[in-house]
């Protein structure tokens, strides 16, 4: 069977979700997948970006990461999304990307995509779970097959125990509080595994 194709679609302002996306890539490659890492288009004005040095630094550091397109979704057997919470919901950058997929959605090209998601926030109860579940609502409209991590591995507990999708808290120093790498890689491998079942079944 040919390799599972995984698109990792992320939005990151100061770099946390870029780091999560790269952990996903590592886990998925270990699972034998073909992987594309793609960022969604930044929408914030330069004035907002320049008001936060970490935001500007991340944009410069990731300038060579391709911007996600509908073609990346069409190509993929599986998709893992990663984004920070914005008031318990999706950031506008990710929401616009999803909203722009009406064309391929209407052609049935998003049906049966295997999807999973992860998120981050500035405090432990800052909306991570709500953000992941909000994305999953859109995935139901796509007819996608949602693969949450659940409690399928001990790494989930070590990372904080979010069964909807790995989530992380950002500390005052700008670094991740929880040790989530193993949980992220497990979520990636689980998503690839389920996508393999679907691909083989087709």
pLDDT of 53 higher than 90: yes
H or E element, residue 60: helix 53-61
Confidence of residue 133 (pLDDT cuts 50, 70, 90): very high
Given a contact cutoff of 8 angstroms between Cβ atoms, the answer to whether 72 and 9 are in contact is: yes
Q: In the block, which residue shows the tokens 């952990």?
A: 23
4 pLDDT more than 80 = yes
Q: What is the mean pLDDT of residues 173-199?
A: 96
* Per-residue pLDDT band at 26 (split at 50, 70, 90): very high
3-class DSSP state for residue 131?
A: helix
Q: Are 186 and 155 in contact (CB under 8 A)?
A: yes
Question: What is the number of residues in the chain?
Answer: 202
1 or 3: which leads in pLDDT: 3
Asked whether the predicted pLDDT for residue 10 surpasses 90, the reply is: yes
Q: Which residue has the tokens 């300038």?
A: 63
Q: Kindly report each contact of residues 158-166 with a partner whose C-beta sits within 8 Å and lies 24 or more positions away, as own/partner.
A: 158/182, 158/183, 159/183, 159/184, 160/124, 162/128, 162/129, 162/132, 164/117, 164/129, 164/132, 164/133, 164/136, 165/116, 165/117, 165/118, 165/119, 165/132, 166/20, 166/118
Q: What is the mean pLDDT of residues 13-25?
A: 97
Mean pLDDT of 32-60: 97
Residue 1 pLDDT exceeds 80: no
Q: What is the pLDDT of residue 173?
A: 87
pLDDT in tens, 139-178: 999 999 999 999 999 999 999 999 999 999 999 888 999 9
Mean pLDDT in the chain? 96
Q: Give me the mean pLDDT over the 21-42 stretch.
A: 98
pLDDT at 172: 84
pTM over 0.85: yes
Nearest to 167 by CA among 113, 125, 139, 137: 125
Mean pLDDT of 49-53: 95
């Amino acid at each position: 069977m040919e390799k599972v194709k995984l698109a990792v679609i992320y939005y990151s302002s100061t770099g946390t979700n870029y780091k999560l996306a790269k952990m996903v890539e590592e886990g998925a490659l270990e699972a034998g997948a073909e992987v594309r890492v793609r960022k969604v288009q930044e929408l914030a004005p330069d004035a907002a970006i320049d008001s936060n040095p970490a935001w500007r630094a991340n944009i410069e550091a990731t300038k060579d990461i391709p911007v996600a397109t509908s073609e990346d979704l069409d190509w993929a057997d599986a998709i893992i999304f990663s984004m920070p919470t914005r008031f318990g919901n999706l950031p506008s950058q990710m929401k616009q990307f999803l909203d722009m997929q009406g064309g391929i959605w209407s052609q049935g090209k998003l049906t049966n995509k295997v999807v999973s998601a992860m998120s981050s926030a500035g405090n432990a109860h800052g909306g991570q779970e709500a953000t992941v579940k909000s994305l999953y609502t859109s995935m139901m409209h796509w007819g996608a097959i949602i693969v949450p991590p659940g409690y399928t591995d001990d790494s989930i507990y070590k990372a904080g125990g979010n069964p909807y999708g790995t989530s992380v808290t950002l500390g005052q120093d700008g670094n991740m509080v929880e040790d989530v790498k193993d949980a992220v890689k497990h979520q990636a491998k689980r998503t690839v595994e389920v996508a393999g079942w679907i691909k083989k079944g087709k």
